[in-house]
Amino acid sequence: MHPMLNIAVKAAIRAGKLIYRAGDNLDHLTVTKKSHADYVSEVDRAAERIIIEALHDAYPSHAILAEESGAQGQSEYVWIIDPLDGTTNFLHGVPQYAVSIGLQHNGVLTQAVIYDPTKNDLFTATRGRGAFLNDKRLRVSKRKEMADSLICTGFPYSNMQHMDAYLGVFKDVMQKSAGLRRPGAASLDLAWTAAGRYDGFFETGLKPWDMAAGCLLITEAGGMVSDLQGTDGFLQSGHVCAGNPFIHPQLLEIIAPHLTPGLKA
């Protein structure tokens, strides 16, 4: 395992264990509403502190981009952190949430960790070395037809400006696929796509920390990731389409008639 990945794995597992233990005392947590349907708990913040401390202990000069504390420092290395992706699920006792840590080097994603503490699933990837679930090599699915495919998505939850366009895509995918799922943690949705559990995934309005690690997992598992137009601006726009090499272009084709100027940003 790459040394930088090893440090990130240890940080993610440590944070994940804290989150899992806190799940036994949900009624006692302090929760703040950041915006409509967007919450942060003391657990998110404590998990983020654990991760940042571990990364800074090992690499004090590296920069950080984290969900709760924002951007810190300047470096060719930037750690992109979501300490608890799926906070709403977590707060309701729904066991679908994860810790997500990605590393960018000179703007290129090079390391990825997504840890699901409820299932003890550890997804990892190093650029050029493949993606893994625990010790098992990951490959995207081999399904070729949209009609046979299980597609995953995430609903707009805070920023509703693309709702009508999104619902148009949702309706078409629902009619043209074998099924559509919305579990509520984008990092795991991407990781499960890398693992071949889903054949494709799309969402609008994500943040870099929601998807940095998951997108590297997919490309290292042989899949494709783009924005909704098929180009590589997804980390900047927050709009993402991913899938195996057969389903990804078919998903883009379904999305294309619904693109608004905002979704082309």
List the domain boundaries for the chain: 3-137, 146-260
Nearest to 131, CA basis, from 5, 235, 218: 218
Q: Helix, strand, or coil here: 164?
A: helix
> What topology does CATH give the domain 146-260?
D-Maltodextrin-Binding Protein; domain 2 (3.40.190)
Tokens 């990825």: give the residue.
112
Which pairing describes strands 179-181 and 150-153: parallel, antiparallel, or unpaired? parallel
Distance between start and end Cα atoms, the chain: 37
Per-residue pLDDT of the chain (265 residues; tens, 9 = 90+): 999 999 999 999 999 999 999 999 999 899 999 988 888 999 999 999 999 999 999 999 999 999 999 999 999 999 999 999 999 999 999 999 999 999 999 999 999 999 999 999 999 999 999 999 999 999 999 999 999 999 999 998 777 888 999 999 999 999 999 999 999 999 999 999 999 999 999 999 999 999 999 999 999 999 999 999 999 999 999 999 999 999 999 999 999 999 998 888 6
Which pairing describes strands 179-181 and 200-203: parallel, antiparallel, or unpaired? unpaired
Domain 3-137 has CATH 3.40.50.1100: no
pTM: 0.97
